[in-house]
Amino acid sequence: MNLKALLIVIVGILIILSVTLLFPISFWTFLECIFAFGFLVLGLKIFKIVKSEYLGSLIFSVFLIFDILNRIFKFMPHTWNFWQLIGLLIGSYLLSWGLTEILKKSGKSNSLQRLSTQNIEIKKAEAFQKFDLDIDLSLTRLLLVDNGNNSGFYSNLKFEKNYFNGSLEHQTENTSCTINAKCISKNESVKGINKSIMNLELNEGSDITGTLKIDASDGILDFSKLKLRKLDIKSNLSRISITLSSISSSDINIDADVTSININIPKNVGIKINTNIFENFRGIENFEIDGDKIISRNILNCTYISEINLNSDMSKIALINMEDGE
Cα separation, 280 vs 260, in Å, equals 10
Does residue 176 form part of some domain? yes
Task: Looking at the structure, tell me whether residues 283 and 195 fall in a common domain.
Answer: yes
Residue finishing a domain among 61, 85, 106: 106
pLDDT at 106: 60
Task: Looking at the structure, tell me whether residues 97 and 125 fall in a common domain.
Answer: no
Task: Tell me the backbone φ, ψ of residue 138, rounded to 5 degrees.
Answer: -135, 145
Q: What range defines the domain where residue 257 resides? A: 117-321
pTM of the model: 0.68
The Cβ of residue 107 has, within 10 Å, a number of other Cβ atoms equal to 9
pLDDT tens-digit readout, 307-316: 999 998 788 9
Rounded mean pLDDT of 214-237? 94
The Cβ of residue 198 has, within 10 Å, a number of other Cβ atoms equal to 26
Task: Tell me the backbone φ, ψ of residue 123, rounded to 5 degrees.
Answer: -130, 125
Task: Looking at the structure, tell me whether residues 250 and 152 fall in a common domain.
Answer: yes
Better pLDDT: 46 or 269: 269
Does residue 151 form part of some domain? yes
Cα separation, 83 vs 71, in Å, equals 17
- Maximum average pLDDT range among 15-19, 69-73, 308-312: 308-312
Residue finishing a domain among 86, 106, 126: 106
Task: Looking at the structure, tell me whether residues 152 and 246 fall in a common domain.
Answer: yes
Cα separation, 230 vs 219, in Å, equals 17
Does residue 218 form part of some domain? yes
pLDDT tier at 132, thresholds 50, 70, 90: very high
- Maximum average pLDDT range among 35-39, 67-71, 85-89, 303-307: 303-307
pLDDT at 228: 97
Task: Looking at the structure, tell me whether residues 213 and 293 fall in a common domain.
Answer: yes
Nearest to 148 by CA among 134, 127, 133: 127
User: Residue 83: how many CA atoms within 13 Å on its side-chain side?
Assistant: 0
Task: Looking at the structure, tell me whether residues 136 and 276 fall in a common domain.
Answer: yes
DSSP three-state, residue 255: strand
pLDDT tens-digit readout, 149-168: 877 899 999 998 878 899 99
Does residue 326 form part of some domain? no
How many domains does the structure of the chain reveal? Answer: 2
Does residue 112 form part of some domain? no
DSSP three-state, residue 67: helix
Residue finishing a domain among 106, 132, 160: 106
pLDDT at 285: 86
Task: Tell me the backbone φ, ψ of residue 262, rounded to 5 degrees.
Answer: -105, 125
Cα separation, 319 vs 317, in Å, equals 7
pLDDT at 325: 43
Task: Looking at the structure, tell me whether residues 50 and 125 fall in a common domain.
Answer: no
pLDDT tier at 207, thresholds 50, 70, 90: very high
Task: Looking at the structure, tell me whether residues 150 and 76 fall in a common domain.
Answer: no
